[in-house]
């Protein structure tokens, strides 16, 4: 096996606690063929798990839309539990940037992000 041209950086990642009184929802999605898969877990500052969900949507879609649906599902969980202080954590930078610019984004994705926020 050949050596890589650019060596891989080893990056250690660990779950970061939310502030006391805040529920942190970590979520992620993936797409494989004509299916989109998602999962989320909600924890407090002590690491106690307050809930979670996982599922599969039998529909062909781009990863942006799968991540967006998972974000929406996370917000629905938080609202259904009447959690007041919620922190969302996800690793899809494109969606983070879209969410931060949602008021200036005239695309369908921007519109959906504005609707989710309501």
Q: What is the CATH number of the domain that holds 90?
A: 3.30.420.10
For residue 2, pLDDT over 70 is answered with no
**Residue at 80 is within a domain:** yes
- Residue 9 resides in a domain: no
State the pTM of this model: 0.74
pLDDT band, very low/low/confident/very high, at 55 (cuts 50, 70, 90): very high
**Number of folded domains that form the chain:** 1
Does 2 reside within a domain?
no
17-30 confidence digits (pLDDT tens) = 899 999 999 999 99
In a domain, 10, yes or no: no
In a domain, 99, yes or no: yes
Residue 112 resides in a domain: yes
Instruction: Give the separation between CA 59 and CA 73, rounded to whole angstroms.
Output: 16
Give the tens place of pLDDT for each residue, 78-114.
999 999 999 988 876 677 666 666 667 666 666 666 6
Q: Which domain covers residue 111, as residue numbers?
A: 23-117
The answer to whether residue 35 sits within a structural domain is yes
């Amino acid at each position: 096996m050949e050596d890589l041209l650019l060596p891989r950086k080893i990056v250690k990642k660990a779950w970061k606690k939310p502030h006391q009184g805040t529920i942190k929802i970590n979520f992620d999605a993936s797409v494989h063929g004509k299916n989109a898969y998602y999962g989320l877990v909600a924890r407090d500052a002590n690491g106690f798990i307050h809930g979670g969900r996982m599922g599969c949507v039998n529909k062909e879609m781009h990863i942006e839309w799968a991540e967006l649906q998972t974000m929406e599902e996370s917000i629905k969980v938080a609202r259904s539990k009447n959690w007041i202080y919620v922190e969302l954590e996800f690793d899809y930078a494109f969606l983070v940037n879209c969410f931060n610019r949602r008021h200036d984004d005239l695309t369908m994705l921007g519109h959906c992000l504005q609707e989710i926020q309501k």
